[in-house]
Amino acid sequence: MRTVPIAEIDDKVAALLRTAGQRYSPVRRRLVKVLRAAGKPLTNNQIIASDKSLVQSSVYRNLNVLEEAGAVTRIATNDEFARFELAEHITEHHHHIICNSCGDIADFSLPANIEKSLDLSLRQAAKKTSFDIDNHRLDVLGTCTSCQ
Ligand SMILES: [Zn+2]
Ligand SMILES: [Zn+2]
């Protein structure tokens, strides 16, 4: 999701890191920049391929720090590689379409009126449980262009 300006994202990430007692270091800034520019969740290798100044060990360590601070979300798919994206609360609500074959993920958004009725339907369905609904996740499965 590329629509939120980088300055706004930087402010939010800096605040989250500060709360976690962490610094918004140059490496962490680069990671956030790469994740925002991608517009889809990335694996460690895809992150490193996007910015040659990043080193494997430091990417791994700093992604963990960003994840623990709540700035980055880890997405598990059916392949062995976890993917990372900026947390929804600092970008915007969206959904994922996941390739059944290679595990690649694309972001997509639904029109606001569809989101609204989806949310309403899910809340009604959840009334049968004793849960309070905070938000929803909805993944679509398919085959990406390179696997077709
Ligand atoms: Zn694929
Ligand atoms: Zn939604």
| pTM of the complete model | 0.88
pLDDT value for 105:
93
Q: Is residue 28 part of a domain?
A: yes
Q: Is residue 58 part of a domain?
A: yes
Q: Is residue 112 part of a domain?
A: yes
> How many Å lie between the centroid of ligand 1 and the Cα of residue 85?
18
Please report, for the domain that includes residue 126, its CATH number. Answer: 1.10.10.10
Dihedral, CA of residue 140, residue 142, residue 147 and residue 148, to nearest 10: -140
Q: Is residue 49 part of a domain?
A: yes
Q: Is residue 1 part of a domain?
A: no
Q: Does residue 54 surpass a pLDDT of 80? A: yes
Q: How far are the Cα atoms of 39, 52, 114, 115, 118 from residue 122, in angstroms, in the given order?
A: 27, 43, 12, 10, 6
For 71, the 3-state DSSP assignment is: coil
Q: Does residue 1 surpass a pLDDT of 70? A: no
Q: Does residue 80 surpass a pLDDT of 80? A: no
For 61, the 3-state DSSP assignment is: helix
**Structural contact between residues 141 and 97, judged by C-beta atoms closer than 8 angstroms:** yes
> How many Å lie between the centroid of ligand 1 and the Cα of residue 98?
8
Reported as a pLDDT band with limits 50, 70 and 90, residue 2 is: low
Q: Could you list the residue range(s) of the whole structural domain that residue 75 is in?
A: 6-142
List strand residue ranges (DSSP E) for 51-137, in order: 72-75, 83-86, 95-99, 105-108
Count how many domains the chain has. Answer: 1
Higher pLDDT among residues 109 and 1, named by residue: 109
Q: Is residue 148 part of a domain?
A: no
Ligand at minimal distance from the CA of 137 is: 2
